[in-house]
Amino acid sequence: MKTVFSACLHALGDLKQPRVIAVMVLPVLASLAIWVVVAVWFWQSWVTALGDVIGSTQFARWLRDWGAQWLVNSMGVVALISLMIPALLITNVVITEIFAMPVMVNLVAARDYPALEKRNGGTAAGSIFNASVGITIFLVLFVMSLPLWLLGPVGLIAGMLNSAFLAQRLFRYDALSEHASADEYRALVRHARSRLFLLGLVLAPLNYVPLVNLFAPVLGGLAFTHFCLRELDEWRNVANRKREP
């Protein structure tokens, strides 16, 4: 628990760094630009398609019987906005992982762990595969958990657990890919799996705060970088002591 909160505090302290400010803003602008363009091109067709699907449900027929056709007509827009918000946030996380994480890892490693040897156990292909698997699982769980939002807090808890899973799955790989060997990476994930998930869970509520959620991926990336590099450094120190006569 102490290492989890220590990583968060160090990450907060790093937010004032000029390089961090730059990589915090750029993913937000890029993801917003992408989804504005997508919305301009596909808005009407997607609203119509979603409206047709929702309009054919028993719930929509019940609303019509009660004279709420106006509500049925607006459901396509509401559904599309509800889908585009998580899509925007996921895009922001992916852009942060691809372009911002290398900057953050180099910053933290150079300042706090200059003697930590780079063993380059990760690859670009490995990062893409890891992200693809993580996002696919996240989306499946997201769709499966949608009915839980009808239960109020249960849906929020499910959403935070899902967000925690995605954060630790994506950021742990990129935080360690340069410095850990492949064997070290697997061993560290097994050793710290519960604390990695706990770190993701501590950060998860930020995803539900408007505007803050746009910048949460950078804070998360920094926190996982601090946590993972510290774990790796301590892992090697223990291994070296065991080898000493």
Q: Going residue by residue through the chain, which has 245 residues, state the pLDDT in tens, using 9 for 90 and above.
A: 788 989 999 998 888 888 888 888 888 888 889 888 888 887 777 777 766 666 666 665 665 556 555 555 666 667 777 777 778 888 888 888 888 888 899 999 999 999 889 998 888 888 889 888 988 998 888 888 877 776 778 878 888 999 899 999 999 999 999 999 999 999 999 999 999 999 999 999 988 888 888 888 899 999 999 999 999 999 888 777 666 66
Residue of 87, 92, 95 lying closest to 143 (CA atoms): 87
Sign of CA dihedral 30, 36, 39, 40: negative
User: Does residue 245 form part of some domain?
Assistant: no
User: Does residue 115 form part of some domain?
Assistant: yes
Instruction: Provide the pLDDT for residue 139.
Output: 85
User: Does residue 242 form part of some domain?
Assistant: no
Kindly tell me the number of DSSP H helices and DSSP E strands found in the chain: 9, 0
User: Does residue 165 form part of some domain?
Assistant: yes
Neighbouring C-alpha atoms within 13 Å toward the C-beta of 173:
21
**Are the CB atoms for 51 and 75 separated by under 8 Å?**
yes
Residue range(s) defining the domain that contains residue 195? 2-236
- The total number of structural domains in the chain stands at 1
User: Does residue 29 form part of some domain?
Assistant: yes
User: Does residue 241 form part of some domain?
Assistant: no
